[in-house]
Amino acid sequence: MAGVAGTGKTLLSMEFVYRGAKAGERGVLFSFEETEARLRATARNLGWDLDGEIARGMVEIVFIPQPEILVEQHLLMMREVVDRMKARRVAVDSISVFLHKIKGPQLAREKTFQLASVVQNTGAVGFFATDIPYGSHLISRFGVEETVVDGVILLTSTQEGLERQRYLEVYKLRNTAHLKGRHSMSIGRGGIAIFPRYDVDDRFGQPAPPLDTAVRLPSGVPGLDEIMGGGLLARSVTLVSGSAGIGKSTIGFQFLAAGAAHDERGLYVALEEGPEQILETARALELDDTAVEEGRVEIIFASRDRIRPNQLLSLLTERIQQQQIRRVVLDSVSHLASETMTDAELRQLVYAIVTRLKNLDVTTLLTLESADLHATGRITDRQFSPLADNLIALRYERGARGLQPTITVVKTRGSEHGFATHPLTLGRGGVRVGSGVSPTARKATNRRRRRPSKR
């Protein structure tokens, strides 16, 4: 396990030993920088009962001050402690400090091998921390440790916006398949949390099963089901692209309320507005919020400042499985992007989310902020269209009385639908699709009809 200072090496070493003790495996932590008293205090602050595990003989902390390190003598002492405890987990924090007096990479490699042998000969699992020099392209202090061990975990900390974010990467793991790439890591009450980029579960790594065109679900928006072939397909993904203030969030609320009325629990994930603001808007439109009060619909706030994009996938999976959620609104995917995230990375994240939701038997509605106030030539700004089964464009048209909201169903998978642009109203009772076509669409149709044929 390698990383620069402040990436969580000591804490990960402690948790490795502590979690093993809770599972019935004895462990020992050799520390060359932090005293036992400081490590115990850290554990208490995290809510761990490390003191209790030490008291019942499941964990032992051996502190050797850096100035007193004698490599050969302490290698023998470490072997004796591991044997005496019958330890199954051995953490060393850190081998770069333990071997700091060693001169030359070859000798450092030999001593690392001896330390690994202490662990392997007793059938234990070792967890060795090593420092990486700032600005170095190495993955260890001496540049040789990674050749001896079976696995290498890299801990990094990068500046993103106004704060630093931690990541974990399994760089090497002999004879074992592992999830590649950097995974988000956070440190808080309870210890370290890892948020994988994708799930090890095979069913989440497979394409979602095909949609059943015989199963239709109500959208909750009056008039919308009729122009979408009878409603939304179960497990489908609907992308609502719309101009500011046109009613995207309201459609999301109505979608969840309609599901709750049919015993489908819903989850509203707000990435911009807080739950109280969403409820206040719904009440101002006299929408029924009984489902929220009764807990059949939950609204959570998951802004970029609180939950990083890579963590969202794990959060959604946990909530959906625990509460048996069947409908999810993500409002809006435009706010998933961080300052350093490219459009390609954002599309990959959204694809992972929608694939996971389909495999979890969830019907999803995503909202997307559109930069186009009037035009429908470009439906989405970041090429999200292929990710959705249904694509709905909300736009404004100029009319005699000002701006008129409109709705166009651009795409519905497995359904026949019209391509007409319909009037849209937003008021008491929420969003409603008007009858007929919008004035602009009607004029365009009439112009095409009057156009003389070429001879």
Q: What is the average per-residue pLDDT within 159-187? A: 84
Quote the pLDDT of residue 27: 97
Q: Note whether 277 and 267 are within 8 A (CB).
A: no
What b/e readout covers 117-129, taking b as 16+ CB neighbours within 10 angstroms? ebbeebebbbbbb
89 φ, ψ (degrees, to nearest 5): -135, 130
pLDDT single digits (tens) 179-226: 888 888 889 899 998 887 765 444 555 677 788 888 899 999 999 999
Quote the pLDDT of residue 336: 79
Whole-number Å distance between alpha carbons of 187 and 195: 12
Quote the pLDDT of residue 164: 81
Maximum Cα–Cα distance across the chain: 102
pLDDT single digits (tens) 255-282: 999 999 999 999 999 988 889 999 999 9
Q: Enter the tokens of residue 235.
A: 């497990």
pLDDT single digits (tens) 362-377: 999 999 887 665 555 5
Whole-number Å distance between alpha carbons of 363 and 350: 15
CB-neighbour burial class of residue 78 (10 A; exposed 0-12, middle 13-18, buried 19+): buried
pLDDT grade, residue 43 (50/70/90)?
very high
Quote the pLDDT of residue 445: 42
Nearest to 75 by CA among 64, 88, 85: 64
* Secondary structure percentages of the chain, helix, strand, coil, to 5: 35, 25, 40
For the 2-149 domain, the top CATH level (class) is: alpha beta
Quote the pLDDT of residue 444: 45
Q: 205: number of CA atoms within 13 Å, CB side?
A: 8
Torsional sign, CA 298, 319, 249, 256: negative
Q: Where in the chain is the domain with CATH 3.40.50.300?
A: 2-149, 203-450
CATH of domain 203-450: 3.40.50.300
Quote the pLDDT of residue 382: 58
Q: What is the average per-residue pLDDT within 89-114? A: 87
Q: Note whether 232 and 219 are within 8 A (CB).
A: yes
Q: Tell me, what DSSP letter sits at residue 406? A: E
Q: Note whether 115 and 75 are within 8 A (CB).
A: yes
When mean pLDDT is compared across 14-18, 40-44, 153-157, 435-439, the lowest value belongs to 435-439
Q: Note whether 223 and 433 are within 8 A (CB).
A: yes
Whole-number Å distance between alpha carbons of 50 and 59: 8
pLDDT at 446 > cutoff 50: no
- Hey, how many other C-beta atoms are within 10 angstroms of the C-beta on 410? 17
Q: Note whether 212 and 360 are within 8 A (CB).
A: no
pLDDT at 108 > cutoff 90: no
pLDDT grade, residue 345 (50/70/90)?
confident
Quote the pLDDT of residue 449: 42
Whole-number Å distance between alpha carbons of 335 and 351: 15
- Residues near 340 by Cβ (< 8 Å), separated by ≥ 6? 160, 161
Give the start-end residues of each E strand in 177-311.
182-188, 191-195, 216-217, 232-233, 237-242, 266-270, 297-301
Whole-number Å distance between alpha carbons of 249 and 367: 7
Quote the pLDDT of residue 141: 76
For residue 14, the surrounding DSSP H or E stretch is helix 9-22
- Hey, how many other C-beta atoms are within 10 angstroms of the C-beta on 11? 18
For the chain, the average pLDDT equals: 85
The amino acid sitting at 437 is V
Whole-number Å distance between alpha carbons of 1 and 349: 27
pLDDT at 143 > cutoff 80: no
State the helix-helix crossing angle for 71-85 and 105-120, rounded to 10 degrees.
Answer: 20
Quote the pLDDT of residue 180: 83
Quote the pLDDT of residue 454: 46
pLDDT at 447 > cutoff 50: no
- Residues near 367 by Cβ (< 8 Å), separated by ≥ 6? 239, 240, 241, 242, 248, 249, 251, 252, 329, 330, 331, 332, 333
pLDDT at 301 > cutoff 70: yes
Q: What is the CA radius of gyration of the chain?
A: 29
Quote the pLDDT of residue 58: 97
Q: Which residues pair with 130 in a beta bridge?
A: 2
Q: What is the average per-residue pLDDT within 16-41? A: 96
pLDDT higher at 374 or 386: 386
Quote the pLDDT of residue 206: 65
pLDDT higher at 133 or 293: 293
pLDDT grade, residue 450 (50/70/90)?
very low
Whole-number Å distance between alpha carbons of 204 and 202: 5
**Angstrom distances, CA of residue 142 to CA of 37, 109, 213:** 30, 8, 61
Quote the pLDDT of residue 82: 94
